[in-house]
Structure 1
Amino acid sequence: MTANTQTPSRPGLKEGKTSEFTLFFNVKPGHAQQIRDYLQGVDHDKRRALTDRIGTLHDLRWVLFDDDTRLLFASNFDGNWDAYIDDFAALIPDTFDAVLQHTEGYPGIKDPGIKDFVVAHQATACTYLRAAPDATITDIQKALRVNKTFQQLLDEAN
């Protein structure tokens, strides 16, 4: 008898090296303002530092909607779904706990059942299109650094 080592099927569309990730939560009654206050209270540099820690993250957004009764978390990432969730738990757990504690049924980012919770709240997009589907965020950042250096060389040559 061999152990099942297959990764379970995960929601979300993939194009090239990038996947879409969309979660919907019910906000606990009266808790929307705490979510808004937390998210708006984190300054831009701290938000950038948090997102830079997740080296596979292209972008993310939080949206309160339906008269502040629902919360959307949407992002795009490179690589494996399970590794992406593991990165949130390891690298920025406080952010997710600070926001999602205000949603119904949230067990905490370190809870052993967190991936099941995420899957239960994830919706797969009807369509997903990336401008550069084979470019990872690492590829894009490298290209930007190379271009900056090239532009500096051109400026110095003048």
Structure 2
Amino acid sequence: MTDTTTPAVDVTDERYAHAQPISDQPDGPGRRIGKKGELTIITPLTANGGKIFRERVASIQAQAGYWETKVGTVDNFRILLFDNDTRMLITLVYDGDFKPYLADIGRAQPWLDEIFGEIVEGYNGYDDPGTPELVISRSYSADLYFHATSDSSVHDVKRMKRLNDALSEVLDAAN
């Protein structure tokens, strides 16, 4: 694992007080800060991929909360079509290591196949044995990566929100 923490700096300089140790993911592409891994994928689309994606995007967006809750480790996920809808940029931040994340996203297979099927060149479905290598071959590690809550998992954040809501309810009832 490559450690690319902030180089030797004047630690009394407040601009460096919150420097985050960043490293490569230990088991695949992407970078890591605390509990958070990041991944960027750039992939070519099929001849009609951009058109098909744009026809499906409202449905895909509407289902995002359902499927990403089933996965449970996704912090954020974004897709952008570019180069006249001939290529797709996928960026995501997730909890943990790369290989367990690939297994986690299998819980959203129908949704992933709706997003990428007939759209991404070479994608033959999540269950295809070549899918992990396809993902890896089109992945890039961020040159700059920051995460404000890098030591809090998605589960931690949801638990803190539930606790905050419960405490607010108790305090409101006391008024």
TM range (shorter): 0.7 to 0.9
Gaps of 5+ in 2: 1-25
Give the structure-1-normalised TM-score.
0.88
SS at match of 2:43: strand
Q: Distance in 2 between matches of 1:117 and 1:43?
A: 24
Whether 2:98 is the aligned partner of 1:81: answer yes
Gaps of 5+ in 1: 1-7
Structure with the larger RCO, 1 or 2 (CA within 8 Å, 6+ apart) = 1
Give the structure-2-normalised TM-score.
0.80
Map 1:55-74; keep pairs closer than 5 Å.
55-74=72-91
SS at match of 1:92: helix
- Equivalent of residue 122 in structure 1, options 130, 139, 142: 139
Quote the offset at 1:87 in angstroms. Answer: 1.8
RMSD value over aligned CA atoms?
1.5
Quote the offset at 1:94 in angstroms. Answer: 1.6
Whether 2:113 is the aligned partner of 1:97: answer yes
Contact 1:63 1:72 in 2 (8 A): yes
- Equivalent of residue 19 in structure 1, options 19, 22, 37: 37
SS at match of 2:140: coil
Which runs of 4 or more aligned residues in structure 1 lie more than 3 Å from their structure 2 counterparts after TM superposition? none
User: Across the two proteins, how many residue pairs are aligned to each other?
Assistant: 149
| Cα 1:127/1:51, change in 2 over 3 Å | same
| Aligned residue in 2 for 1:147 | 164
